[in-house]
Amino acid sequence: MNKTLLVLINGCDKNWAAIEYTAWLAAKTGKTLRLEGIIENPAKKENVEAMLTRASQYLSEKGLKHSIATHTGNLEKTASQLSEEFPHAVFVAGNMGRSSLQKLISGSSFRNLMEAVHSPLLFVPTASIPVKKVLICMGGLKYALTAEHLGLKLAKEMDAQVTLLTVVPPIDLDYPEARVIREQWQTLAETDTEPGRNLRNALATARGLGVETNIRARNGNIVEEILDEIKTGQYQLICMGSSFSAQGLRHMMTANVTAEIAESRLCPVLSARYDATE
């Protein structure tokens, strides 16, 4: 189980939600905290240092032990290097204050970080605490397995309820398993299909951990259905497989789902790449 929460700070005021959320998470789970200040622009050095000082004082007042480091350079490159140094950490990032022009030229910070960081990445646009309800999106493929296991373990530590969500998109292919999925999506966990087996396995794992868990099935556009579930279910954490977890055309068709959900900024999103050891 990942023991370290590593918070990326670039001095933007919007970083603070990630600090608040991570402080709650560390207090609840007993995980180690590291604050990584990243000075991307010399003109922003004072902002980064001020944010680190404020965060350190906040954590100390809550009795949370933590360490602080500063780096100079590009956010994504620095995060990639840290990912090599701390392969078993959970990386935490809030809104990084990228301008519309920066996003147009180089893409959103979340997508770039998701590509750069091999470790699990927790994106916190808003400090949705306490965490009482966790949504785990079951992709039907192995790429979601690491996120599923990490989400269940976190839910256990946080005393949170879990919903396992599977979304069946419109299926035009006509072969036996596809027909079963299309016709029995409401009772998918009862079917002898790959998504059905994955749901049963996840439910068994959750019960083994003593985590209160239920299954939700939806039918329609994947992104739209997940966003609607988040809005109606009022979750404080979403767990999803990273789009960099696997290869193949089938996977690439939905490669941006995790990023689109995170960029909706409805609540924190934990993404994780597939790990064959899970």
1-10 residue pLDDT tens: 568 999 999 9
Tell me the three-class secondary structure of the chain, residue by residue: CCCEEEEEECCCHHHHHHHHHHHHHHHHHCCEEEEEEEECCHHHHHHHHHHHHHHHHHHHHCCCCEEEEEEECCHHHHHHHHHHHCCCEEEEEECCCCCHHHHHHHCCHHHHHHHHCCCCEEEECCCCCCCCEEEEEECCCHHHHHHHHHHHHHHHHHCCEEEEEEEECCCCCCCHHHHHHHHCHHHHHHCCCHHHHHHHHHHHHHHHHCCCEEEEEEECCHHHHHHHHHHHHCCCEEEEECCCCCCCHHHHCCCCHHHHHHHCCCCCEEEECCCCCC
What is the mean predicted confidence (pLDDT) over 107-130? 86
Query: What is residue 253's predicted lDDT score, i.e. its pLDDT?
Result: 37
Query: What is residue 252's predicted lDDT score, i.e. its pLDDT?
Result: 35
Q: 41: which residues sit within 8 A by CB, 6+ positions away? A: none
Its pTM stands at: 0.87
Is residue 155 very low, low, confident or very high in pLDDT (cuts 50, 70, 90)?
Answer: very high
**269 pLDDT above the threshold of 80:** yes
* CA dist., res. 164 & res. 168, Å (int): 13
Say which residue, 237 or 245, is predicted with more confidence.
Answer: 237
How far does Cα 110 stand from its chain's mean position? Answer: 10
Surface-to-core class of residue 85, CB atoms within 10 Å of its CB (0-12 exposed, 13-18 middle, 19+ buried)? exposed
172-195 residue pLDDT tens: 666 777 788 888 888 888 999 888
Segment among 26-40, 173-187, 209-223 with least mean pLDDT: 173-187
**254 pLDDT above the threshold of 60:** no
**276 pLDDT above the threshold of 70:** no
- What domains does the chain contain, in order, with CATH numbers? 4-124 (3.40.50.620), 133-272 (3.40.50.620)
